[in-house]
Chains A and B, each alone.
Chain A
């Protein structure tokens, strides 16, 4: 158990809909990263938050957004969903000590868009 939790575990929705994925980092970790895992693109970095502020953006679509709240949990919002958004979405967290580069991953949310 990494200490990172994600909900829900599975999500089935229809095209055009909007969903919210939730992530709670390990206790004390200030950074949250979001990744998308799909069969064709592999694992891709989407976005990072550090202590409530956006720190870096990767291959994140404009239809996707994220935020990190004062209690450090993070949400990834996916809107106007398309079939191609079906994927496994992971969040990861990292700390601020000597291990600051190591990311610990949650179990993921599997999204299926029908």
Chain B
């Protein structure tokens, strides 16, 4: 079955540091890949996505590239801010009988300190 593995957290960085959160996946077929972010006390917000190999998703300074050869979708940001403190979830969507249900990783909690 499908699965997503994320690096264990929590991750603590100083403001303006470089961020990488690793994500690898196992899936049949050609899944779409997503990063969602959950701020404290809130629901999940779509951060970025990629639908095919070598696609790069980007939003708010975050980037991730769909690497089929390494089955990875690592999240990066060049300079984090305190406001980026949240839990980040990597997810994949693969079609099956018309359903695009998401399979999530366990989440990585990021804390950014001033």
Cα(A107)–Cα(B44), bound, Å: 7
Q: How many A-B residue pairs have CB under 8 A?
A: 60
Q: Is A48 an interface residue when CB atoms closer than 8 A count as contact?
A: yes
Task: Please pick, from A48, A58, A105, the residue contacting B36 in the complex, using a CB distance under 8 A.
Answer: A105
Q: Is A103 an interface residue when CB atoms closer than 8 A count as contact?
A: yes
CB proximity to B under 8 Å, residues A12-55: 31, 33, 35, 42-45, 48, 50, 55
Query: Please, which residues of chain A bring their CB within 8 A of the CB of B46?
Result: 102-105
Residue of A nearest to B49 (CB): A102
**A binding-site residues for B, Cβ under 8 Å:** 2, 31, 33, 35, 42-45, 48, 50, 55-56, 58, 90, 92, 94, 100-108
Contact B98 A50 (CB under 8 A): yes
Contact A107 B43 (CB under 8 A): yes
Contact B44 A90 (CB under 8 A): yes
Task: Please pick, from B36, B51, B101, the residue contacting A56 in the complex, using a CB distance under 8 A.
Answer: B101
